[in-house]
Amino acid sequence: MSLEAGADAVVIGAGVIGSAVALELARGGRSVVVLDAGPAPGSGSTSASSSIIRFSYSTYDAVLTAWEAAAAWTDWAGFLGGDDPDGMARFIRTGMVVVRTPGDNTDRIARLWDDIGITYHWLDAEGLQRMMPGVDAGAYHPPSRPEDPRFVADAAGPLSALFEPESGFIDDPALAARNLAGAARRHGAVVRLRTRVTGVEVARGRIAGVCLDGGEVLRAPVVVNAAGPHSALVSAMVGEDLGMRLGHRPLRQEVFIVPAPTGLRLEDGMPTLADMDIGQYLRPQVGGTWLVGGTEPECDELHWVDDPDTMEPYPTVEQYETSMLRLAKRMPAFGVPHRMAGLAALYDVADDWVPFYDRTDVPGFYLACGTSGNQFKNAPMAGRFLAAIIDHEAVGGNHDEQPVQVVGQRTGRTIDLAAFSRRRDPAATSGTVMG
């Protein structure tokens, strides 16, 4: 079967990123078709996201992007252009503690926050104990695993941290993607679910469309790769050199859901915590639990995945116990729960942990991928970035030669999209999910 149909733009992937891109392209007046192999928008890696909204990145453009995107999350209906009858994702403010470790980038983050005007203060060990009653505010860096004798060593000194009050999380990340896809539909976008892209068509050196399972061909001069952990596979379908200077590949992650101790729950004012001193992050959530994930400390092996479709979806007892014992060290009131609850999912990690929002060397083929476990929060800006780059190229611009600049509506400051180029020099980041 070969049913030829057409659109101005095809977006591959209806995760939070692809849905945001589709919304902005449709808002700009394009006919858009979003294709997703899954059963619902946001049912891929977005559904597993810890959906933390924070501003603690190592580079100016990354901090500014997250700060600008936060304005969309705090006025979600305003950003979408109305309420979604299926319900709205909610931003829940917790504030964020970023623990300081030797040689880390917290001083740089603080300077960037000073520059951009993001309020914060430093916390010493006593301040940490006031904010999180019962916390062990000792510094144990570098993180270790329980089988390492250093795991039970005494603290080397007191801990200190940055505290930033505007951070928080989105209570339902998959719903956020559905909200974006719904808004895109209201602007005329077509969202086709359970539809897998099996090929990308190139004719006379430029993008011509995509092939779908079942043999259908969908013609379009613009194709955006927002396939999350599958995006390297989708790029490979083009069969041409895209001009990538940096790579990206799937990395398996485990996140656990645990009961929060009394006094350290969301309703008690528990902040979100990035604790690079023990190698874990946690955030409180509605219902008296915490989400607990890792910050890629050197002692934890990274599990790169060749084929995202064969990823083992269940968390391991080994990582569960390691994470729980680390938490128990930091929060002595936290009894290690007997029953493991959690999930495994994939990040799509770029070599320098910075996403690609970019054109490619094949005209018409665009990238919104390499999101490196830290771009849920930036989806509203990712949509704007891709629309700006595609608009620029539609009138003869070349984003490689004249990088598109996007002015943030919140600050009036300019974000240089060269920061997210596939041809950039690797950015000086923490080399972890913290960016």
Ligand X SMILES: Cc1cc2nc3c(=O)[nH]c(=O)nc-3n(C[C@H](O)[C@H](O)[C@H](O)COP(=O)(O)OP(=O)(O)OC[C@H]3O[C@@H](n4cnc5c(N)ncnc54)[C@H](O)[C@@H]3O)c2cc1C
Degrees, nearest 5: CA angle 361-365-370: 90
Please pick, from the candidates 179, 280, 323, 375, the single residue that binds ligand X as defined by CB under 6 A.
375
> Per CB under 6 A, does 280 bind ligand X?
no
Please pick, from the candidates 46, 280, 323, 421, the single residue that binds ligand X as defined by CB under 6 A.
46
Which among 12-20, 82-90, 260-268, 422-430 is the span making contact with ligand X, rule CB under 6 A? 12-20
Smallest distance, ligand X to C-beta of residue 308, A: 8
Rg (CA), the chain: 21
Nearby residues of 401 by Cβ (< 8 Å), 6 or more positions away? none
Which among 105-113, 222-230, 315-323, 419-427 is the span making contact with ligand X, rule CB under 6 A? 222-230
Residue 334: phi and psi, rounded to 5, are -85, 105
Is the CA virtual torsion 76, 81, 83, 86 positive or negative? negative
Q: Pick from 62, 66, 116: which is nearest to 354 by CA?
A: 62
> Per CB under 6 A, does 168 bind ligand X?
no
Distances (CA, A) of 282 to 22, 58, 272, 372, 435: 31, 20, 6, 18, 17
Nearby residues of 29 by Cβ (< 8 Å), 6 or more positions away? none
> Per CB under 6 A, does 225 bind ligand X?
no
Smallest distance, ligand X to C-beta of residue 64, A: 15
Residue 180: phi and psi, rounded to 5, are -65, -45
State which residue, 12 or 324, has the beta carbon closest to ligand X.
Answer: 12
Could you tell me how many residues make up the chain? 435
State which residue, 140 or 364, has the beta carbon closest to ligand X.
Answer: 364
Q: Pick from 67, 51, 22: which is nearest to 374 by CA?
A: 51
Site for ligand X in 248-277 (CB under 6 A): 253, 255
Please pick, from the candidates 9, 22, 24, 51, the single residue that binds ligand X as defined by CB under 6 A.
51
Please pick, from the candidates 11, 22, 26, 44, the single residue that binds ligand X as defined by CB under 6 A.
44
Residue 124: phi and psi, rounded to 5, are -95, -175
Q: Are residues 195 and 37 in contact, defined by beta-carbon separation less than 8 angstroms?
A: yes
Site string for ligand X, 176-215 (x = CB under 6 A): --------------------xx------------------
Q: What share of the chain is helix, strand, coil (3-state, %, to 5)?
A: 30, 25, 45
Which among 78-86, 142-150, 225-233, 399-407 is the span making contact with ligand X, rule CB under 6 A? 225-233
* Helix (H) and strand (E) counts in the chain: 9, 26
> Per CB under 6 A, does 65 bind ligand X?
no
Q: Is 427 helix (H, G, I), strand (E, B) or coil?
A: coil
If binding means CB under 6 A, how many residues of this protein chain bind ligand X? 39
> Per CB under 6 A, does 34 bind ligand X?
no
Rounded CA gap, 38 and 229, in Å?
13
Which among 89-97, 325-333, 373-381, 424-432 is the span making contact with ligand X, rule CB under 6 A? 373-381
Nearby residues of 201 by Cβ (< 8 Å), 6 or more positions away? 207, 208, 209, 210, 211, 217, 219
State which residue, 127 or 201, has the beta carbon closest to ligand X.
Answer: 201
Which residue, judged by CB position, is nearest to ligand X in the bound state? 15
Smallest distance, ligand X to C-beta of residue 404, A: 20
**Two tokens, residue 335:** 């009894």
State which residue, 79 or 376, has the beta carbon closest to ligand X.
Answer: 376
Please pick, from the candidates 185, 252, 377, 384, the single residue that binds ligand X as defined by CB under 6 A.
377
DSSP secondary structure code for residue 413 in this structure: P
Q: Is 252 helix (H, G, I), strand (E, B) or coil?
A: strand
Site for ligand X in 294-353 (CB under 6 A): 345-347
Site string for ligand X, 133-162 (x = CB under 6 A): ------------------------------
Please pick, from the candidates 7, 10, 11, 15, the single residue that binds ligand X as defined by CB under 6 A.
15
Smallest distance, ligand X to C-beta of residue 20, A: 8
Which positions lie near ligand X, rule CB under 6 A? 12-18, 35-38, 43-46, 48-52, 196-197, 226-230, 234, 253, 255, 345-347, 371, 373-377
